[in-house]
Amino acid sequence: LETDSSILLKKANAALEKYKMHAVVANELSTRKEQVVVTTGVEKITVLRDNSDSANDVEKPLIKLLSERHATYIEDSGR
């Protein structure tokens, strides 16, 4: 969670390297309920809240994306 959008992705990429992660969810304080950015070092994926229902939040599409990516990773690791 960051308040300065100009350093958000820089800090996310630093966390990828420092902690040897596969992905980092970067979010800005002012838009944290509306959108987040998932960065993998190779790509940056913006995840947005579904505005068709006011009860929805950004977590549902984020969980869907991460679950799909994790399943692909597990499948590819077994080859």
* pLDDT tens track for 2-46: 889 889 999 999 999 999 999 999 999 999 999 999 999 899 999
Q: Is residue 28 part of a domain?
A: yes
Res. 52 pLDDT band, cuts 50 70 90: confident
Q: Is residue 3 part of a domain?
A: no
Predicted TM-score of the model (pTM): 0.87
pLDDT at 5: 87
Sign of CA dihedral 69, 75, 77, 79: negative
Q: Is residue 41 part of a domain?
A: yes
Domain ranges, residue 52: 8-77
pLDDT at 1: 81
- Show Cβ contacts of residue 39 under 8 Å, excluding neighbours closer than 6 positions: 9, 12, 13, 16, 23, 24, 26, 45
Q: Is residue 72 part of a domain?
A: yes
Q: Is residue 1 part of a domain?
A: no
pLDDT at 31: 93
The total of structural domains in the chain comes to: 1
Q: Is residue 53 part of a domain?
A: yes
Q: Is residue 33 part of a domain?
A: yes
